[in-house]
């Protein structure tokens, strides 16, 4: 599906008209192509007094090929940056928040198009005093507002990093920074990501962060699932692509294109979990990453909704995930270092008219992450979800025109996301290097106003 308005605005004549009339101005987003530099320009790395992360982050950025500049030497008012990165871990009470203003205010116009703003903090729950926890919580308001203010495809995120000494923390911080700075996170903004402790292994090559991993993708015949299969294979994974038998031809085409294998299976069939487990055990002996992407909608307002619509949506979108997780975990087919990633939706966060069944299932997916992530910590398996907003697929092409336009424009990017944007985010959460990122729900919604 094409967004004709965005194409028009990005043309010369369109730009002039949109500026004059004050219409939404969707920028062309920077998306990832293998081999791209991480950023379109240097990163300015600032820190509050006594910040604990500036030094390791400086090393991470330099190792990733980013030119890192020091604010003390930043005297050129015309300098433009690919990213502003600020270590706010040293802020221990509300008066210290002034340091944020001092860093960001003079540089509010210095970020290049599709540049990045990243603020690093300490999880409020881990802070030593109520005042420190208060100040660290305040960082959310700053980053979310910058995401709404800077425009031109600039994204802003807050990354809370545990103060512990687990070696996995720095590896996962590196993975997270590489994702958030790159074009992989084009449609992710205004998010809070938590990096905790956990088993995390850096890849031999960051261009192939999934090398050697066996990854199952459900609902892989089309839409987001097909994009996922392609992105994960591009990044080095061996992909097992699953979909219903009726989508067998499309599924086979995707699997052949990426050199993966195809499994035709209806996830709601009573024997689906055992058949899937048998297949994975026989073919691969394990599955490192399970991506629960298959999903359906059966929209009706609650008063008009028949029980079939309710049951089928809850079953495909939520209960089947639970049944499959149970069997794969019970048979120990997901090894230490494994990943579970589910696809939720902003409807599961904000609710949506006509989607009580869908929103219930997708909020349940968030509950699954909240409950399973701590339960599987000892087995060193991470559990996360992504919550897409308006993504240009067949599913959203069916939405009536005016609603569709509202969904597309009511976000900081003034446009819908692409399936690849969701796929790249799931990719990052699947990397062996991301093990210390668990229990997160990351929205891929261009900072949609829905549920904001």
Name the residues that contact ligand NAD, by CB under 6 A.
218-219, 221-225, 243-244, 247, 266-268, 293-296, 316, 343, 345, 388, 390-391, 393-396
Residue closest to 383 by CA, chosen among 375, 391, 395: 375
Instruction: Write the DSSP assignment of 126-137 as a string of letters.
Output: G-SSHHHHHHHH
In angstroms, what is the minimal distance from the CB of 422 to ligand NAD? 7
> Nearest to residue 419, comparing CAs of 396, 442, 402, 400?
396
The DSSP element (H or E) to which 444 belongs, if any, is strand 441-444
User: What region does 450 belong to: left with phi over 0, alpha with psi -120 to 50, or beta?
Assistant: beta
β-sheet bridge partners, residue 383: 340
Q: Which residues are bridge partners to 214 per DSSP?
A: 238
Based on CB atoms, which residue is closest to ligand NAD, 170 or 426?
Answer: 426
Of 100 and 387, which CB lies nearer to ligand NAD in the complex structure?
387
Segment holding 327, helix H or strand E: helix 320-330
CB of 289 to ligand NAD, least distance (A): 16
**Which ranges constitute the DSSP H helices of 347-418?**
347-350, 356-375, 394-397, 401-409
In the complex with ligand NAD, which residue's Cβ is closer, 150 or 358?
Answer: 358
Minimum distance between the CB of residue 56 and ligand NAD, rounded to whole angstroms?
35
Decide if 114 contacts 30 (C-beta within 8 A): yes
Of 86, 160, 187, 358, which is the active-site residue?
A: 358
Is 5 tagged catalytic? Answer: no
Query: Smallest distance, Å, CB 219 to ligand NAD?
Result: 3
- Measured from the CB atom, is 217 or 381 closer to ligand NAD? 217
Please, where are the H alpha helices in 209-317? Answer: 223-234, 248-258, 272-283, 307-314
Q: Which of 113, 90, 116, 134 is nearest to 10 (CA)?
A: 113
Give the nearer residue to ligand NAD in terms of CB position, either 162 or 297.
Answer: 297
**Residues sharing a CB contact under 8 Å with residue 343, sequence separation 6 or more, in sequence order:** 224, 291, 292, 293, 295, 365, 385, 386, 388, 422, 426
Give the neighbor-by-neighbor strand order of the sheet with 68-69.
68-69, 43-47, 81-87, 111-121, 155-161, 191-195
CB 291, min distance to ligand NAD, A: 10
Q: How far is the CB of 315 from ligand NAD (least distance, A)?
A: 8
Q: Which is nearer to ligand NAD, 71 or 451 (CB)?
A: 451
Catalytic residues: 358
């Amino acid at each position: 599906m094409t967004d004709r308005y965005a194409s028009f605005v990005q043309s010369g004549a369109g730009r002039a008209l949109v500026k004059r009339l004050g219409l939404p101005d969707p920028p062309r987003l920077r998306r990832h192509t293998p081999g791209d530099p991480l950023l379109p320009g240097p990163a300015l790395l600032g820190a509050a007094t006594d910040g604990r992360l500036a030094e390791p982050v400086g090393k991470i950025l330099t190792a990733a090929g980013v030119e890192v500049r020091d604010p003390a030497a930043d005297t050129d008012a015309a300098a433009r940056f690919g990213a502003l990165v600020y270590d706010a871990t040293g802020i221990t009470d509300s008066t210290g928040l002034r340091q944020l203003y001092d860093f960001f205010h003079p540089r509010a116009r210095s970020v290049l198009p599709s540049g990045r703003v990243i603020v690093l903090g300490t999880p409020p729950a881990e802070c030593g005093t109520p005042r420190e926890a208060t100040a660290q919580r305040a960082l959310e308001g700053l980053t979310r507002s910058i995401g709404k203010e800077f425009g031109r495809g600039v994204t802003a995120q807050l990354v809370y990093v545990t103060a512990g000494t687990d070696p996995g923390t720095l590896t996962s911080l590196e993975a997270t920074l590489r994702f958030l700075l790159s074009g992989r996170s084009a449609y992710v903004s205004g998010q809070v990501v938590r990096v905790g402790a956990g088993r995390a292994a850096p890849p031999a090559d960051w261009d192939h962060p999934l090398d050697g991993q066996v990854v199952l993708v459900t609902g892989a015949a089309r839409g987001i699932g097909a994009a996922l299969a392609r992105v994960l294979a591009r990044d080095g994974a061996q992909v097992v692509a699953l979909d219903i038998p009726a989508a067998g031809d499309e599924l086979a085409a995707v699997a052949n294109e990426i050199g993966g294998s195809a499994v035709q299976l209806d996830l709601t069939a009573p024997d689906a979990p055992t058949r899937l487990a048998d297949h994975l055990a026989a073919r691969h002996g394990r599955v490192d990453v399970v991506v629960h992407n298959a999903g359906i909608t059966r929209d009706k307002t609650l008063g008009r909704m028949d029980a079939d619509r309710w049951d089928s949506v809850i079953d495909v979108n939520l209960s089947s995930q639970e049944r499959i997780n149970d069997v794969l975990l019970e048979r120990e087919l997901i090894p230490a270092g494994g990943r579970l990633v589910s696809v939720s939706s902003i409807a599961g966060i904000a609710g949506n008219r006509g989607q009580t069944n869908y929103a219930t299932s997708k909020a349940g997916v968030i509950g699954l992450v909240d409950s399973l992530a701590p339960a599987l910590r000892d087995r060193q398996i991470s559990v996360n979800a992504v919550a897409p907003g308006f993504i240009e697929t067949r599913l959203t092409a069916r939405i009536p025109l005016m609603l569709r336009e509202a969904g597309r424009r009511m976000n900081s990017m003034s446009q819908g996301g692409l399936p690849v944007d969701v796929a790249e985010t799931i990719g990052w959460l699947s990397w062996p290097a991301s093990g210390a990122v668990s229990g997160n729900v990351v929205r891929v919604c261009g900072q949609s106003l829905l549920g904001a």
